[in-house]
Structure 1
Amino acid sequence: MQTDGNRLCRLLAHTLLTALLVATSMLSHAQQTPDDYYRAEFVILERIIDPDAVNERMINRKVKPPVETDKTLYRVAQGGSVSSSLELVNRNQLHLGNAANRLESSGKYRVLMSAGWYEAFPPDYKGEPLRIEIGDWLEQADQREIEGNITIDRQRYLHVAVHLNHWQEGKVAAAAAAPTTLPTTGAELNLQPEIPLELLTWIRETRRMRSEEIHFLDSPTLGVLVFFKKVEAEQ
């Protein structure tokens, strides 16, 4: 038969073991959270606007070819499947999720991309460009209407560089549909010139980020919401 002293010893031993297990678990969790760990969030939206209403005329702008990169933030294939080289979290877990929903509900914007992920951004971090391909599929050009890349760097502060192009198919496309008669022979030829891409608008901006502040970069047709939240290790 156990004495009161034995019961007390067993109770103390059980309490100490439980406290040790909890402390070990907390220490392990803290060790798993690296320094300078953030949740990065991006929302890209398109203004619902008639392209003819855009005052900027960028058709003759020279645009560099897409940057070579092995990293993809968000790519929508021709069939509609989405791919990313990052481990993206669900939209309902994003701080920007509510803002994206409100903008979409207004009827003035179309949300094309909501993406967030966790990553360490230590000082002097030089990120690779993250490829983006979203928006409507341009059949003649065999690509998405919005393409480009986003790059994240960190010096003393986080910096985000956004390079996005918003394309539309050239308006000379209709001319290719009608047969052309050569005046010398009377023969009809179906001329099928390449349908050129016309640059509608673009975003070329680098912005310094402050943690837990929403930043907005835009053009007449595009907008980019950016949000970073630092994830602290539990003590």
Structure 2
Amino acid sequence: MCRQRLLPLLTLLALALFHQPLTAADYRYHVEVIVFEHLNMNSSESWPPEDERPRWDNAQRIFAGDSDSRFNPLSSGSYRMSGVYRTLRSAQAYRPLLHAAWIQDGLPASRARAVYLESDGGQVEGQLKLEQSRFLYVDLDLIYPFGDRDGRYARIKERRRLKLKELHYFDNPVFGAIVRVTRAGG
């Protein structure tokens, strides 16, 4: 074979041998969540007493400074849903309770870890877990105590397939959450 033909063939062969397919961990995501209260709540639903409250002991507390390298909490200057937050804050029907964002690896369900969320003053508490498989999924589990300290709380617990860059709304008669996931850096 001629050297001119052999060199491109060897280059292609080397690329094919050393090419590693992308894994879920090769993807990094910007995850952002806003939680808000419905101020005009008019619900006759019954809510479980506080002693049945869920626990999130295994969730990563990235906003408390004990994060591992898979999670990078972001400062408010890096938030991408600030306009949504301002709209909710200026609306008479809603009161924002939590706005948080972080960068994390996309990992399969067997390795994914939830992020612990808590608003200032502990009004809202819960976790959000992002899972990467063929599709992206989010597991959201939040509680919001309400009423006159009578032990009632409202809960949002839902698993949902996500589309990147779209706003995903999670609803409850007492409070709601908006989640948006984009590629980190994009």
Q: Which residue of 9, 28, 34 corresponds with 1:37? A: 28
- Give the structure 2 partner of residue 151 of structure 1: 129
- Give the structure 2 partner of residue 114 of structure 1: 99
Greater C-alpha Rg = 1
Give how far 1:132 is off: 2.2
Q: What is the one-letter code of the residue matched to 1:90?
A: S
- Partner secondary structure for residue 98 of structure 1: helix
Alpha-carbon distance change, 155 to 95 in structure 1, aligned in 2, over 3 angstroms: same
CA-to-aligned-CA distance 1:62-95 (integer Å, 9 cap, x gap): 8354122251255xxxxxxxx3535322334322
Structure 2 residue 32 is matched with structure 1 residue 47: no
Give how far 1:223 is off: 1.3
- Give the structure 2 partner of residue 198 of structure 1: 152
User: Are the equivalent residues in 1 in contact too, given 2:169–2:177 (CA < 8 A)?
Assistant: yes
- Measured in 2, the distance between the counterparts of 1:197 and 1:42 equals 25
Between the aligned residues of both structures, percent identity stands at 20
- Give the structure 2 partner of residue 56 of structure 1: 45
Structure 2 residue 78 is matched with structure 1 residue 93: yes
Structure 2 residue 177 is matched with structure 1 residue 230: no
Taking only aligned residues, the RMSD between alpha carbons, in angstroms, comes to: 2.8
How many residues are matched?
158
- Measured in 2, the distance between the counterparts of 1:127 and 1:224 equals 21
Structure 2 residue 161 is matched with structure 1 residue 208: yes
Alpha-carbon distance change, 38 to 108 in structure 1, aligned in 2, over 3 angstroms: same
Between 117-126 and 59-68, report the one with greater CA deviation. 59-68
- Measured in 2, the distance between the counterparts of 1:96 and 1:232 equals 15
Q: What is the one-letter code of the residue matched to 1:161?
A: D
Alpha-carbon distance change, 108 to 122 in structure 1, aligned in 2, over 3 angstroms: same
Alpha-carbon distance change, 62 to 230 in structure 1, aligned in 2, over 3 angstroms: same
- Partner secondary structure for residue 103 of structure 1: helix
Instruction: Give the structure-2-normalised TM-score.
Output: 0.71
Alpha-carbon distance change, 122 to 162 in structure 1, aligned in 2, over 3 angstroms: closer
User: Are the equivalent residues in 1 in contact too, given 2:29–2:105 (CA < 8 A)?
Assistant: yes
CA-to-aligned-CA distance 1:97-148 (integer Å, 9 cap, x gap): 111111111122121221112222145563222222226x5xxxxxx33222
User: Are the equivalent residues in 1 in contact too, given 2:50–2:152 (CA < 8 A)?
Assistant: no
Query: Structure 1 runs of 4+ off > 4 angstroms?
Result: 122-125
Alpha-carbon distance change, 146 to 122 in structure 1, aligned in 2, over 3 angstroms: closer
Alpha-carbon distance change, 130 to 49 in structure 1, aligned in 2, over 3 angstroms: same
Q: What is the one-letter code of the residue matched to 1:159?
A: Y
Structure 2 residue 154 is matched with structure 1 residue 165: no
- Measured in 1, the distance between the counterparts of 2:52 and 2:114 equals 17
